[in-house]
Amino acid sequence: MNIILDKAFVSENMNVMKSTLYLFAMLLAGTVANAQTKSFYDFTVKTIDGADYPLSQLKGKKVLVVNTASKCGFTEQYADLQKLFETYGGENFIVIGFPANNFLSQEPGSNADIKEFCTKNYGVTFPMMEKISVKGKDIAPLYKWLTTKSENGVMDANVSWNFQKFMIDENGRLVDFANPKDVPFSNKIVDWIKDDKK
């Protein structure tokens, strides 16, 4: 009788353990799914003039997100970013610049200084946002999402220098990124823009 009771006791405990493990697995899966359901469109940023800019207004467009700087060896990429915007921009594609001073103080100016620099020297007409931080303890929420797999559900992609380029698809999902040294008209970027698969 004791053996039968012990078997019943063990069997009952095994069922409780299985149920507990199942619930834990479901909660964990739910947490991961929730972390990855956030999209590019869930963020509102500020323009270089200080106005709110909901990224949800870009639904249906591919977006190239670039952290920029005015005193960098890659600053000349502003010219090609503008040409890229003029060539492919419109209903299906846009470039957005995010000035940042995270690398050797290469973006020391104010938002007004940056705007004047970009307009005067490169004729920039694509949207420029206010100066932010793209890494470290004060990283902007959008860049935390862009660089952290647990947030974007795709990859970890720390910003290595000025002019790193993140590619966002028409549904607000991170697709890939191009390194700072990859020029705006690189095959990787142009092929991505021209690819109409969704």
Dump pLDDT digits (tens) for 139-184: 999 999 999 999 999 999 999 999 999 999 999 999 999 999 999 9
Q: pLDDT band at 33, cuts 50/70/90?
A: very low
Average pLDDT of the chain, as a whole number: 89
d(CA 15, CA 158): 44
Residue with tokens 């000025």, as numbered in its chain? 162
For residue 14, pLDDT over 80 is answered with no
Q: How far is CA 145 from the centre of its chain?
A: 5
Q: With 0-12 CB in 10 A as exposed, 13-18 as middle and 19+ as buried, what is 118?
A: buried
For residue 35, pLDDT over 50 is answered with no
Would you please indicate which residues are annotated as catalytic (active-site) residues? 72
Please state the pTM of the whole predicted model.
0.82
